[in-house]
């Protein structure tokens, strides 16, 4: 796996003006219209080095957006990790103790395990429980096309289609290493009206990632129902390119202490032949299970128990 060094094209915004918030939870601010409607949650900094989400939320604050109906909440999640961001070692601030986006399981949250991320997750949990619609804003290790992760439920796929960007929508079940925020509670329950999307805006520090984060956030707000019809129509006036859907069928979880990819995979490679060796995990070959197999977000964090790559096929 390559160990590329990407240029830092983005500046981490100062989020200290939002530290106090108004919810009793640091770095969380809610605006309540006083009228019935959905509770829409925009979340950034699930990972401390993914600064495009902080840029997008900073723009929403500066634009003085207020909901016409329902409630709008802006949340900066793993602030402790973000405070460690250093442009000379930008990957080091992903988390403090553990991945904040692998702890959203009821048993874990209710359990006795302790970490900086779990402390913050438990603090945010009542907020997440109260949200009807969630957009969780992320970025990626490699410079690949932006992705919308919609989970497996039709309700979230339909929401992704209404948002209309990015062009690629991924349907997947998550990670063996732990549950993501976007899969927590009613978000992944087909019987619940709640819905969540996770957008991967591009490579962590490229300028384009911030542009994607901002566009996706505005469009998510427009389709959420909390803005006026006129505001939503203006935001959605631009017609994005048609989306394509990739359904993930397999998540390759690393089983040994010695995992190595067979090629310099960056993501979205389409492997034409079934049975092609794409990696070796200890003594085991990892092969493509079918023709035209799409590699989704191959990781550099090749440690036992983590997801190395997801395998999918185009389904729409």
Please report the pLDDT score of residue 1 as a whole number.
35
DSSP per residue over 72-95, as a string? EEEEE--HHHHTT--TTSGGGGS-
Please report the pLDDT score of residue 316 as a whole number.
86
Please report the pLDDT score of residue 261 as a whole number.
97
Is the pLDDT at 262 greater than 70? The verdict is yes
Q: Name the domain boundary from 193, 212, 235.
A: 235
Rounded to 5 degrees, φ, ψ at 244 are: -120, 145
Q: For 198-224, what is each residue's pLDDT tens digit?
A: 999 999 999 999 999 999 999 999 999
* 3 located within any domain: no
Helix 207-224 and helix 154-163, axial crossing angle in degrees, nearest 10: 110
Is the pLDDT at 225 greater than 90? The verdict is yes
Q: Name the domain boundary from 235, 256, 276.
A: 235
Q: For 32-55, what is each residue's pLDDT tens digit?
A: 999 999 999 999 999 999 999 999
CATH number at residue 258: 2.40.50
* Mean pLDDT within 64-77: 98
Q: For 117-141, what is each residue's pLDDT tens digit?
A: 999 999 999 999 999 999 999 999 8
Please report the pLDDT score of residue 3 as a whole number.
41
* 4 located within any domain: no
Q: Which helix (H) or strand (E) holds 153?
A: none
The domain containing residue 287 runs over which residues? Answer: 248-314
Instruction: Find the Cα–Cα–Cα–Cα dihedral 237, 217, 131, 16, rounded to 10°.
Output: -140
Is the pLDDT at 4 greater than 80? The verdict is no
> How many domains is the chain partitioned into structurally?
2
Q: For 84-127, what is each residue's pLDDT tens digit?
A: 988 888 888 999 999 999 999 999 999 999 999 999 999 999 99
Q: Name the domain boundary from 198, 214, 235.
A: 235
Residues 255 and 137 placed together within one structural domain of the fold: no
Q: For 141-169, what is each residue's pLDDT tens digit?
A: 889 999 999 999 999 999 999 999 999 99
The structure's pTM equals: 0.93
* CA nearest to 278, candidates 266, 268, 288: 288
Report how far apart the first and last C-alpha atoms of the chain are (Å, whole number): 30
- HSE toward the beta carbon, residue 69, CA cutoff 13 A: 12
Q: Which helix (H) or strand (E) holds 299?
A: none
**DSSP-assigned letter for residue 267:** S
Residues 184 and 266 placed together within one structural domain of the fold: no
| pLDDT mean across residues, the chain | 95
């Amino acid at each position: 796996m390559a160990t590329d060094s990407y240029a830092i094209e983005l500046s981490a915004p100062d989020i200290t003006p939002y530290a106090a918030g108004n919810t009793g939870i640091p770095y969380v601010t809610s605006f309540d219209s006083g009228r019935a409607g959905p509770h829409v949650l925009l979340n950034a900094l699930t990972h401390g080095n993914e600064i495009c989400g902080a840029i997008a939320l900073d723009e929403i604050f500066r634009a003085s957006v207020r909901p016409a109906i329902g409630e709008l909440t802006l949340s900066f999640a793993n602030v402790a990790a973000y405070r460690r961001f250093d442009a000379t070692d930008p990957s080091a601030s992903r988390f403090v103790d553990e991945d904040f986006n692998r702890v959203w399981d009821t048993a874990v949250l209710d359990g006795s395990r302790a970490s900086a991320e779990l402390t913050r997750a438990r603090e945010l949990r009542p907020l997440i429980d109260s949200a009807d619609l969630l957009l969780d804003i992320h970025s990626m290790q490699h410079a690949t096309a932006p992705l919308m992760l919609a989970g497996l439920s039709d309700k979230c796929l339909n929401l992704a289609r209404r948002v209309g960007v990015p062009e690629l929508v991924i349907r997947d079940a998550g990670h063996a290493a732990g549950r993501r925020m976007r899969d927590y509670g009613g978000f992944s329950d087909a019987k619940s009206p709640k819905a969540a999307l996770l957008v991967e805006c591009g490579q962590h520090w490229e300028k384009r990632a911030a542009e994607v984060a901002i566009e996706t956030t505005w469009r998510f707000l427009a389709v959420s129902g909390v803005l006026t019809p006129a505001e939503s129509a203006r935001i959605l006036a631009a017609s994005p390119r048609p989306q394509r859907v990739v359904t993930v069928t397999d998540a390759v979880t690393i089983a040994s202490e010695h995992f190595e990819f067979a090629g310099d995979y960056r993501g979205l490679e389409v492997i034409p032949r079934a049975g092609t060796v794409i990696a070796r995990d200890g003594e085991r070959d990892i092969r493509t299970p079918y023709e035209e197999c799409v590699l989704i977000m191959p990781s550099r964090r090749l440690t036992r128990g983590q997801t190395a790559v997801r395998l999918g096929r185009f389904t729409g």
